[in-house]
Amino acid sequence: MNNTDTTYGLGHDLPVDDAGYYGRFGGAYIPEILYRNVENLKEAYARYRNDPDFQREFDSLLRDYVGRPSPLYYASRLSAHYGAEIYLKREDLNHTGAHKINNAIGSVLLAKRMGKTRIIAETGAGQHGVATATVCALMGLKCVVYMGATDVARQTPNVERMKMLGAEVVPVTSGNATLKDATNEAIRDWCCNPVDTFYVIGSTVGPHPYPEMVAYFQSVISKEMKTQLQSHIGREYPDYVVACIGGGSNAAGAFYHLIDDDRVKLVAAEAAGKGVDTDMSAATIRLGREGIIHGSRTLVMQTPDGQITEPYSISAGLDYPGVGPLHAYLATSGRTEVIPVTDRGALRAAYRLTELEGIIPALESAHALGVLDMKKFSAGDVVVLNLSGRGDKDMATYLKYRDMICDND
Ligand SMILES: *Cc1c(COP(=O)(O)O)cnc(C)c1O
């Protein structure tokens, strides 16, 4: 922990300043009407993140409700296959099947402390919507989830889960009717209902303090990882941490307590879609240029005249035209190595993990696994791969492409 590291300013564990800038990236580009909301959130976050009661309640829910600590599993057959010591951080075993619940619990607890009675969220694949609806059911709060109409149609099981959990799911038909449009609609709602409503953002994106706050709620991943490595290998750090990046929250959590440790190489997998040379990609760090999206200055996929372009990935959770400002900073400063992984690379890696270890990963996590085929590790290298979620939600996609993967392998 580097709570007291003065280079980061008071109270920040991350390379961020008080205005929410990670180098050139971040900040809070918001309409005037949201200014009060964001200030109130900043104050509440600063007050409660070090509050012992808040911390106790957060920790006990992570333990008894989510099932933490998530195991750090030594994948011996995968290790033999790739010639490195590969450990999987099993976020797929969390309640609701992914890392998103960590942030949903932290955020909704904060909302309750702030006296909010209504929770709103955006969702793409539906994982963040399900996590938020789950925590709202647990805490008896009203929940409204904005979801692009296109995604509502292609993610039926998650839509049904949210409804059973008591959430209202609002299909958004503007734009391409996907995640970017759902986020715009959630921000619009927040503008109209500033007093009773708390906006739970599902990744390390949005105006300051969201990227920092969401990273903090996910930082339990690297905190546990260090303790678990100590008992597995007798030291607290691996040689590599690998994670996939959509907006960047599971990667932020997996990197968090290791960012300052230059013995550790940080590797981020972004979704190349059909390839970074095609116009069907979501490799934002590779293809994006500096711009502003959803309240933050970051790398954005855009046309030469600044129109945000529609990204593409086989994985709905990585299909976002921006990336959290922390990751834009870590990548452009050279701290992380960013590897674009194609749909095909991810599918192959998912089938390989299933075959060798009996674990069906989320399609998002399969992009992190795809890095194992693209990067050469040395024998003895300790690689921790953050397995951000489980693959149940992706079964239809996996079965659809099964023949293509098996024929050419
Ligand atoms: C949402 C999601 C992601 C992508 O979001 P990040 O904020 O980049 O972590 C990755 N994996 C799973 C399983 C997800 O549900």
Q: Which helix (H) or strand (E) segment is 180 a member of?
A: helix 179-192
CA 340/CA 269 separation, integer angstroms: 6
**Ligand 1 atom showing the smallest separation from residue 246 Cα:** 8
Report how far ligand 1's centroid is from the alpha carbon of 248 (Å).
7
Domain containing residue 238: CATH number: 3.40.50.1100
pLDDT value for 405: 77
Determine if ligand 1 sits within 6 Å of the CB of residue 247.
yes
- Domain count for the chain, please give it: 2
Report how far ligand 1's centroid is from the alpha carbon of 187 (Å).
20
Determine if ligand 1 sits within 6 Å of the CB of residue 244.
yes
Sheet with 289-293, side-by-side order of all strands = 21-22, 25-26, 296-300, 289-293
pTM for the structure as a whole: 0.96
Q: Among 181, 214, 247, which residue terminates a domain?
A: 214
Quick one: 304 and 277 in the same domain?
A: yes
Which of the residues 122, 212, 357, 364 is marked catalytic? 122
Quick one: 367 and 225 in the same domain?
A: yes
Tokens 């400063």, residue located: 333
Q: What is the mean pLDDT of each run of 10 residues along the chain (409 residues)?
A: 41 89 97 94 95 97 98 98 98 98 98 98 96 98 96 91 98 92 95 94 98 98 98 98 98 98 98 97 98 97 94 92 98 98 98 98 98 97 98 94 72
In a domain, 321, yes or no: yes
DSSP state of 311: P
Determine if ligand 1 sits within 6 Å of the CB of residue 102.
no
DSSP 339-356: EEEEHHHHHHHHHHHHHH
Quick one: 288 and 148 in the same domain?
A: no
Alpha helices in 303-382 (DSSP H): 325-332, 343-357, 363-374
In a domain, 13, yes or no: no
Determine if ligand 1 sits within 6 Å of the CB of residue 106.
no
Quick one: 224 and 158 in the same domain?
A: no
Determine if ligand 1 sits within 6 Å of the CB of residue 250.
yes
Determine if ligand 1 sits within 6 Å of the CB of residue 249.
yes
- What residue type is 160 in one-letter code? E
CA 240/CA 266 separation, integer angstroms: 6
Atom 1 (ligand 1) nearest CA: 317
Determine if ligand 1 sits within 6 Å of the CB of residue 127.
yes
CA 246/CA 204 separation, integer angstroms: 9
In a domain, 15, yes or no: no
Helix (H, G, I), strand (E, B) or coil at 273: strand
Quick one: 82 and 193 in the same domain?
A: no
Which of the residues 100, 116, 180, 375 is marked catalytic? 100
Pair 345, 203: CB distance under 8 Å: no
pLDDT value for 403: 84
DSSP 164-177: HTTPEEEEE-STTS
pLDDT value for 408: 52
pLDDT value for 9: 40
In a domain, 336, yes or no: yes
pLDDT value for 407: 58
Pair 91, 359: CB distance under 8 Å: no
Report how far ligand 1's centroid is from the alpha carbon of 314 (Å).
13
254: its two tokens: 């997996």
Domain containing 358 equals 68-97+219-407
Report how far ligand 1's centroid is from the alpha carbon of 250 (Å).
6
Q: What are phi and psi of 273, to 5 degrees?
A: 65, -125
CA 140/CA 162 separation, integer angstroms: 14
Quick one: 297 and 260 in the same domain?
A: yes
Report how far ligand 1's centroid is from the alpha carbon of 31 (Å).
27
Report how far ligand 1's centroid is from the alpha carbon of 83 (Å).
27
Quick one: 166 and 231 in the same domain?
A: no
Tokens 């659809």, residue located: 400
Quick one: 58 and 170 in the same domain?
A: yes
Examine the residue annotation and report whether 100 is marked as an active-site residue of this protein: yes
Which of the residues 203, 365, 388, 393 is marked catalytic? 388
* Nearest CA among 172, 100, 132 for reference residue 317: 100
Q: Which residues contact 173 (CB under 8 A, 6 or more apart)?
A: 149, 181
